[in-house]
Amino acid sequence: MSILYDEKQNTLTLHTKNTTYQMQVDRYGFLLHLYYGKRADGCMDYLLTFYDRGFSGNPYDAGKDKTYSMDALPQEFPSLGTGDYRTPACIIKNTDRTYSSDFRYVSHSIREGKYSLKGLPAVYADAEEAQTLEVVLEDRVSKVQAVLYYGVLPEYDVITRSVKIVNGSSGHVSVKKLAPACLDMLGGEYDFITFYGRHAMERNYQRLPVGHGVSKIGSLRGTSSHQYNPAVILAERETTETAGGCYAMSFVYSGGFQSEAGMDQYYQTRLLMGLCEEQFAYPLEAGEEFQSPEVILSYSSEGIGKLSQNLHRCMRGHLCRGKYKESVRPILLNSWEAFYFDFTGEDLVKLAEQAADL
């Protein structure tokens, strides 16, 4: 089993061949992120620290316990209005026009195979190749639900994530921001690796240290674009191509997107990948739902090269489709830059013959 539930510790653990991802439902029903990294066993909640930090809000449930604050705890799906002042993964305008969403654990289910997304591209796998974890969270006041989907492909060291927002209220709500993938790191120094470009100079490598505040890349063009690529890497400061820890997020979506990386006041790092916030406001009437695109996550303790290989293997075998998936593809001859639109049929034949000689 690649997905395990420990009823005593209230943990959900996702294992791949070389990595472990763990979350925990805490005493108040919040879904906390405990660990993502090299494969490990046991409960990781010893990594959490609780002390009075000052000027960090406490939920009503905590009473006079000032050591418990969502502003300092690592979360699976952070939302706006719960005392967490870091950049959220979700913002919902409620029926009463407030923007607070207090998502708490309701239930979870584990099943064989990989979930699919209706009308959206997504990683696919046979039943014996993957498992799916579905976690239902709900705001008890608004009745809006966030259904978190996790797909685990053990042999590829890949975990996929998607989220579905369900309007369980009796009125209209609007989803203003949605990032299906969030990683909260309790400590460490990281670099944010992104890929920028322009016409005739695509996919340039940029590596910057994650500092206080938020660094953001994305596209307002309605397409992913060659200005910014919807795939990012969070790497430990000393990580190279062949050594060190690093995390990848690759958005399976060719529309407007954004990725954010930032360090908070307690030197904790948050990485998000989701839909373009400036161009997104999805209305939901009572009973309606919105399914997000998918994010592919992977971790490598052996450098960026291994991380790239994880993604390449997964995408070749479980994202690409069609008759050319595992065969040599036809060659597309670019006549535009060869002739700049001044050509005849005979010219194209000659060009093809010359190319065949190469």
Please write the tens of the pLDDT for every residue from 255-312: 999 999 999 999 999 999 999 999 999 999 999 999 999 999 999 999 999 999 999 9
Whether 28 and 62 have beta carbons less than 8 Å apart is answered as yes
- Encode pLDDT of 237-264 as tens digits: 999 999 999 999 999 999 999 999 999 9
What's the average model confidence in pLDDT over 66-91? 96
Domains of the chain plus CATH, in order, are: 3-318 (2.70.98.60), 330-358 (no CATH)
Q: Is the pLDDT of residue 24 over 90?
A: yes
Cα(340)–Cα(151) distance, integer angstroms: 46
Two tokens, residue 222: 């309605």
Residues 26 and 36: their CA atoms lie apart, in Å, by: 18
Whether the full predicted model's pTM is greater than 0.75, yes or no, is: yes
The token pair that represents 183 in the structure block: 């990683």
Q: Identify whether the C-beta of residue 209 lies closer than 8 Å to the C-beta of residue 193.
A: no
